Amino acid sequence: MTSSKTSPALSRRRFLGAATAAGAGLAAAGSARAEAPKPDPLITDVQDWNRYLGEGVDKRPYGTPSRFEKHVVRRDVSWLTASPESSVNFTPLHELDGIITPSGLCFERHHGGIADIDPASHRLMIHGLVDKPLVFTMEDIKRMPRENRVHFLECAANSGMEWRGAQLNGCQFTHGMVHNVMYTGVPLRVLLAEAGLKPNAKWLMLEGADASGMNRSLPVEKALDDVLIAFAMNGEALRPEQGYPLRAVIPGWEGNLWVKWLRRIEVGDMPWQAREETSKYTDLLADGRSRRFTFFMDAKSVVTNPSPQAPLKHKGSNVLSGLAWSGRGTIKRVDVTLDGGRNWQHARIDGPVLEKSLTRFYVDFDWNGQPLLIQSRAMDSTGYVQPTKEELRKIRGTNSIYHNNGIQTWHVKANGETENVEIG
C-alpha cells in the first residue's frame, strides 16, 4: 500500500482562494510543529455516521430525501387565492440542478383540487367529428406504440406578477411555475388515427376528470404534430397532482393546455370558447383588445443561483447557474451579464440540449465583493432573442399577467444578499 502520510502544513487550493480558510485547512493531526493550525474536529473526529450502522434496505421501499433537505419544497400561495383547491405552488428552482425536475417538486396548479383517480375505472373518450367514437381504458392505451420525450411545462402566468415591476423576492416565485420531466405516452395522432378524423375536423376540446372539468381547445395541426397522451413521468406513473393516470403533453405550449386527468377529447370545427380561453389565458392589451389563443411559450431564461433565496456566501470562485427554454425549438445560446448589461459573455451550456426542454447553463466566475446586476438572455434555434421587460411592455402594456418572458435582473449586494430589481 502506498504511503498515506500527508503534509502537516495548512494548504490552500488555487481554485477557491483564501475565502474558504475555515473549511479548506487540512488538520495537522499528530504534527509536532508549534505553529500547526488548530485541528478541525470535523476532520479529526470520527462522526456518528461512521461509528454506527445506518438504516437497512428494508426500511424505505420508496425512498425520500434526506432530513437535511426539508427546506427544498414547493411553496404555495393559498393565502392569495380563493381556496387551496384552486391555487398554485412553485418549483424551488434555486435548489435544483441539471434539467430534470424531481416529480415531487414539480409545481402544481389546480382548479378543483387533485382528482384521486382509480386507474382501473378511468376512461378516455374520443368523439365528435370522427368516423368511430372510441373509449379507451388505461390498459388499452398502454398497448399502443409509445414515445419518450423530455419537455418543459410552463404556466402562461409564470413571471406574471413582474409585468408591473419587480415584485417577488425569489426565483421560486418569479419563475417557479415551470418544470421539466421525461414523459412516456402515446402520440395523440395515433389515437386520432384509430378514431378517424372527419375532413372538417379542425379543433379538439380536451377535458379533465377533476372537479372543475377543466377544458381547453387545441388546433388539430398541433394534435397531429407532437402531442403525447402521457401516462408516465420521470420513469414512473404520473403523479396525482400532475394528472394521474393520464394527461396531455403539448410541447412548447402554455401549461394550461396540458389537461390533466384527461377523460375526453371532442373533435370539432371551431374552438370551444371555454372559460380558460376567454375570461382567462387571454392577454389584455393597453387599448382594451385581447390577444387570444397565445399558445407558444417564447424563449426565456432565469439565473437560479445566485438569486434572492440563494445569496452569494463566498468571495472568489463561484458558480452562476440558470435555466433557459423555448417553446419553439432548442436553446442555441445564453448570454449573461454581471454588470447590468454593459458586458455580456456566453454562458456554458451543459448537459443534454433537447427540443422544448429546460436547458442548463453556467458561468464560472470570481467575485471580489462588488455589487452585481445579473441578467441572462436566451436565444433559441429560430434566432429569437429573449426581450427585456420594457420591450415587452411597449408592445403589450401591463394589463396582462400572461406570457412574460422578459429578462430578469438580480441585484447582488456587497454582503452577498440578492434582491429582485429592475434596471432601465
Q: Which of residues 173-212 bind a copy of itself (CB under 8 A)?
A: 182-184, 190, 194-195, 203, 209-211
- Are 174 and 168 within 8 A, CB to CB? yes
273 CB neighbour count, 10 Å cutoff: 9
- Told to check if 18 binds a copy of itself by CB under 8 A, we report no
Please give the biggest Cα pair distance in the chain. Answer: 91
Q: Which residues, numbered 210-239, are part of the site for a copy of itself (CB under 8 A)? A: 210-211, 213, 232, 234-239
Name which of 236 and 390 has its Cβ closer to a copy of itself. Answer: 236
Interatomic CA distance for residues 322 and 331, integer angstroms: 13
Structure-block grid coordinates of residue 334: 445564453
- Told to check if 369 binds a copy of itself by CB under 8 A, we report no
Name which of 143 and 289 has its Cβ closer to a copy of itself. Answer: 143
- Told to check if 247 binds a copy of itself by CB under 8 A, we report no
- Told to check if 307 binds a copy of itself by CB under 8 A, we report no
- Told to check if 258 binds a copy of itself by CB under 8 A, we report no
Name which of 145 and 424 has its Cβ closer to a copy of itself. Answer: 145
Interatomic CA distance for residues 34 and 118, integer angstroms: 71
Q: Is the dihedral of CA 92, 96, 98, 102 positive or negative?
A: negative
Smallest gap from Cβ 236 to a copy of itself, in A, equals: 5
Q: Which residues, numbered 94-123, are part of the site for a copy of itself (CB under 8 A)? A: 95-106, 108-110, 112-119, 121, 123
Interatomic CA distance for residues 172 and 55, integer angstroms: 33
Instruction: Give the angle subtended at the CA of 128 by the CAs of 109 and 86, to the nearest 5°.
Output: 15
Q: Figure out which of the listed residues 36, 284, 350, 388 binds a copy of itself, where binding follows CB under 8 A.
A: 350
- Told to check if 36 binds a copy of itself by CB under 8 A, we report no
Torsion of CA 26, 27, 28, 29, to 10 degrees: -140
Q: Figure out which of the listed residues 34, 59, 199, 395 binds a copy of itself, where binding follows CB under 8 A.
A: 59
- Told to check if 355 binds a copy of itself by CB under 8 A, we report no
Smallest gap from Cβ 190 to a copy of itself, in A, equals: 8
390-396, long-range: CB < 8 A, 24+ apart:
390/424, 392/163, 393/163, 396/283, 396/285, 396/286, 396/291
Q: Figure out which of the listed residues 36, 72, 161, 385 binds a copy of itself, where binding follows CB under 8 A.
A: 72
- CA-nearest of 328, 151, 330 to 247 is 151
Torsion of CA 169, 252, 325, 375, to 10 degrees: -40
Smallest gap from Cβ 365 to a copy of itself, in A, equals: 10
Smallest gap from Cβ 305 to a copy of itself, in A, equals: 9
- Told to check if 275 binds a copy of itself by CB under 8 A, we report no
Contacts of 356 (CB under 8 A, 6+ apart): 151, 152, 251, 252, 325, 326, 327, 328, 329
Q: Figure out which of the listed residues 39, 160, 219, 240 binds a copy of itself, where binding follows CB under 8 A.
A: 240
Q: Which residues, numbered 395-424, are part of the site for a copy of itself (CB under 8 A)? A: none
Residue 1 identity: M
Name residue 207's beta-bridge partners.
215, 264
Piece in contact with a copy of itself (CB under 8 A), picked from 153-161, 279-287, 336-344, 347-355: 347-355
Q: Is the dihedral of CA 7, 10, 11, 16 positive or negative?
A: positive
Q: How many residues lie near a copy of itself (CB under 8 A)?
A: 147
- Told to check if 147 binds a copy of itself by CB under 8 A, we report yes
- Told to check if 278 binds a copy of itself by CB under 8 A, we report no
Smallest gap from Cβ 341 to a copy of itself, in A, equals: 25
Name residue 33's beta-bridge partners.
none
Smallest gap from Cβ 88 to a copy of itself, in A, equals: 6
Smallest gap from Cβ 394 to a copy of itself, in A, equals: 34
Q: Figure out which of the listed residues 16, 168, 285, 385 binds a copy of itself, where binding follows CB under 8 A.
A: 16
